[in-house]
Amino acid sequence: MLLRRFVAHARKQDWMAIAIEFVLLVLGVFLGIQVANWNAERETRQKSALFTERLKADLRGEDWTYQFLVAYNREVLANANRAADALEGKAALADEALLVSAYRATQYRSRNQLGTTYDELISTGNIGLIHDQTLRGTSARIYNLAVFDSLVQEGLQSRYREAFRMSLPNDVQRTLGERCGDRVSRPGDYTTIHGRLEYPCRTGLSAQTIAESAKALRSNPDIVRFLRLRIADLETRLSDLTRNNRSVMDNLRTIAGETP
């Protein structure tokens, strides 16, 4: 409409009207661009706020997982040390207690990673929407932390785990798992983190079966050697989690403490 009137005035050589129409035309274009920019900026701010809250929610879940894995592997390590001391003659331990600790020393837990939001931000090139540098840095580190994979691999492929399983009858191992295995944890509930393995239990096995199983462990020289390796691996990974990556753990604790 403005362009048509501009042309009409030009034909009449009405220069004042032309100037006014030109200013109106430029102003209209400018305002149109500004409105488009304002809408784009508003949409960007909304997306930034949404992804920031989603990422924080994921990292709150990661904090629980981090704290759980530290506590869980400390309990595995405690049982491994208890079994090693008994097998090496450093401390007295009843046969049934030896079986329980030796079994619990074979345990490991996988990590349930909550990286959906971070993966989406990276794959779409929208990581810049997260303006909080601590949030961005913590996300990048937690979702690329190799120690979690190492914990699983070393637990699953542990030579001690293999030697233990080869030393005892399958029915004894099943009973140990059923009576003295992992207790259930509720993700997000910090009150269920501790005591997943460290709790009193009775196997219900006969005295003869307990004695024979304990003798099988005590008489196998590989058990002690591989248990030492298991202890060294656990201590290394726990050091990775609580010392070498202390800043990650502390940042997760801070994010988890924020009001959602």
pLDDT for position 19: 63
| C-alpha 143: how far from chain center | 7
Give the DSSP letter string of 59-110: HHHHHHHHHHHHHHHHHHHHHHHHHHHHHTTSS---HHHHHHHHHHTT----
List average pLDDT for each run of 10 residues in the chain, which is 260 residues long: 54 59 64 64 86 95 96 98 97 97 97 89 93 95 94 96 97 98 92 94 97 97 97 97 96 82
Tokens 């949030």 -> residue: 135
Which pLDDT does position 16 carry in this prediction? 64
pLDDT at 4: 62
CB count within 10 Å of CB 65 equals: 20
pLDDT of residue 35: 60
Q: What is the pLDDT of residue 33?
A: 72
Task: Please report the pLDDT score of residue 112 as a whole number.
Answer: 84
What is the predicted pLDDT for the residue at 131? 93
